[in-house]
Amino acid sequence: MATSGIVKYGGGFLVALFGIGVLVSIFSPADQNRTDAPQTAAPAGSANKEDPSLNASILFSAVEMNIENEDSFDWTDCDLEINPHGEGGFSRSVARVKQHTAVTLALDEFADSEGLKFDSLSHAITRFHMSCTTPSGRMSYFGTRQAKTGTD
């Protein structure tokens, strides 16, 4: 009987491990695979004026999102949008995200242009965009939901 208890616990562990993996990989920066990024302590995108990007880690759950500022400077006057560009985008603002800290926001704090709040039961998150003011000017982060297949 001890063996069945181990199998039952192991199955739950695998489900929890899979769930964590999904949360960690749900969004990735659009320039994640770039090999020309500068290898210095300068903020990401500072050497490429055409593609200035914020260093961020974004995680979503069913009811909230966590945004971690991985830059060495504060972000201010941030505009955030779930499903931007004609997909019925939901937006909100954040006054400041301090360097090397994270903020947690409820998804129902995001609203569309008519005031309808984001509801994760009726809307899927496909993309995320964030634009903030930095000491180097306005910078952005773009994320796209990674499609999962049976082979992942």
CATH number of the domain to which 112 belongs: 2.60.40
Q: Which two tokens stand for residue 70?
A: 């991985």
**What pLDDT score was predicted for residue 144?**
82
Asked whether residue 92 is assigned to any structural domain, the reply reads yes
**What pLDDT score was predicted for residue 123?**
86
Asked whether residue 40 is assigned to any structural domain, the reply reads no
User: Quick one: residue 145, left, alpha or beta (phi over 0 = left, psi -120 to 50 = alpha)?
Assistant: beta
Asked whether residue 138 is assigned to any structural domain, the reply reads yes
Asked whether residue 44 is assigned to any structural domain, the reply reads no
Asked whether residue 62 is assigned to any structural domain, the reply reads yes
Asked whether residue 35 is assigned to any structural domain, the reply reads no
pTM (global) more than 0.75: no
**What pLDDT score was predicted for residue 23?**
42
Asked whether residue 36 is assigned to any structural domain, the reply reads no
Report mean pLDDT in 10-residue bins for the chain, 152 residues.
39 44 45 33 31 88 94 98 83 98 97 92 90 97 70 48
Q: Which domain holds residue 67?
A: 2-29+50-145
**What pLDDT score was predicted for residue 103?**
97
